[in-house]
Amino acid sequence: MHRTVLLNEVIDGLNLGSGSIVVDATFGGGGHSLEICKRYPSVRIIALDQDQSALEKAKSKFKDSNCDVTFINANFRDLDRVNLGNLSVVGSLSSGLRGRRRKNFPSSPVDGIIFDLGLSSDQLENSGRGFSFQKDEPLLMTMKENPTSGDVTAKDVVNTWGEDSLADIIYGYGEEKQARRIAKRIVEFRKKQEIKTTFDLVKVIEEAIPAKFRKGKIHYATKTFQAIRIAVNDELGALAEGLDKGFKLLKVGGRMSVISFHSLEDRIVKRFFKKKAEENLAKLINKKPIIAKLEEIKNNPRSRSAKLRILSRR
């Protein structure tokens, strides 16, 4: 069962009230939004997720809710292009502030925005798209439920990308020290047969890594799977765009809560927040990331790596 990470810390940090408008940019299982509805029944929520199946599964949780929830199947990098209903949003506010008084611009309407960058347990275990190395599934790793022929998949990456490119993403996105060995073995293996499934890829990784490095706290395929998933979905590029576009939706005093789960994500969030604070466009609510308490880690081990940063727009 999926457990929402840092639930109370995220919602308390948003400082919401009656009638607030919240964008849940990574709706997933709906955990944060559901708790917001319980605390503030008159809140309006705009729920985004690029995985249509995630939206459909979570909708039923809100059937008895008094919240006004709008469900949108979209990637948060497209926040400036999706129809958010009748909100009078001027998406290019921040980019037009140079040399002008901010008060001359209309106010953005959003009180809070949430980015929870972790994969839900449901996506890992039940999507059938190859996110988990523990199940034999087609090698897709795309967040889209029904990828088109134009969408990149993990199968495309491991069967067509060059050895140097593979090594670069496995090391850069997965921080895998055996990246060169793994990339070389992928290229050798695919000359004999196509890499089609998660178990095919696990076999390749196992053959590439020396036996003494296969034993550790995490499975030897974890970092490579993470790296390929990030590349397939352009997760870091999407995050940089989403933070910028989400910030532009916030009203003065509105807050953004971001939960990251690995250093590459946290670095992007930290730099974005710091830049906005230096430009005097925002205030850091917490200078150091908020992490899960021991009790939460005990009940939900995946919360161990979670880092929460909160920003308020000036």
Q: How many CA atoms lie within 13 A of 125 on its CB side?
A: 5
Domains of the chain: 7-122+235-313 (3.40.50.150), 127-233 (1.10.150.170)
**For the sheet containing 44-49, what is the strand order?**
68-73, 44-49, 21-24, 110-116, 250-260, 307-313, 282-284
Residue 169: pLDDT above 80?
yes
Greatest CA separation found in the chain?
65
β-pairing, 250-260 vs 282-284, is unpaired
Of 213, 172, 165, nearest in space to 186 by CA? 165
Q: Is 219 labelled as part of a ligand binding site?
A: no
76 carries a ligand binding annotation? yes
Q: What is the mean pLDDT of the chain?
A: 89
CB 276 within 8 A of CB 282: yes
- Rg over alpha carbons for the chain, rounded to the nearest Å, is 21
Average pLDDT over residues 51-72: 87
Residue 31 marked ligand-binding: yes
80-107 average pLDDT score: 47
Residue 218: closest CA among 177, 252, 169:
177
Whether residue 266 is annotated as binding a ligand: the answer is no
Is 105 a known ligand-binding residue?
no
| pLDDT for residue 85 | 67
Give yes or no for residue 68 having a pLDDT over 70.
yes
Please report the sign of the dihedral spanned by the C-alpha atoms of residue 88, residue 91, residue 92, residue 93: positive
Q: Which of 178, 177, 200, 174 is nearest to 189 (CA)?
A: 200
Confidence band for 90, pLDDT divided at 50, 70 and 90: very low
Element (H, E) at 89: none
Which single residue is written with the structure tokens 């990251």? 260
Q: What is the pTM assigned to this prediction?
A: 0.87
CA dihedral of 207, 211, 213, 219, whole degrees rounded to 10? 60
Residue 116 counted as an annotated binding residue: yes
Q: What percent of the chain has pLDDT over 70?
A: 90
Tell whether residue 133 is among the known ligand binding residues.
Answer: no
Ramachandran region, residue 209 (left: φ > 0; alpha: ψ -120 to 50; beta: rest)? beta
Per-residue pLDDT band for 101 (boundaries 50, 70, 90) equals very low
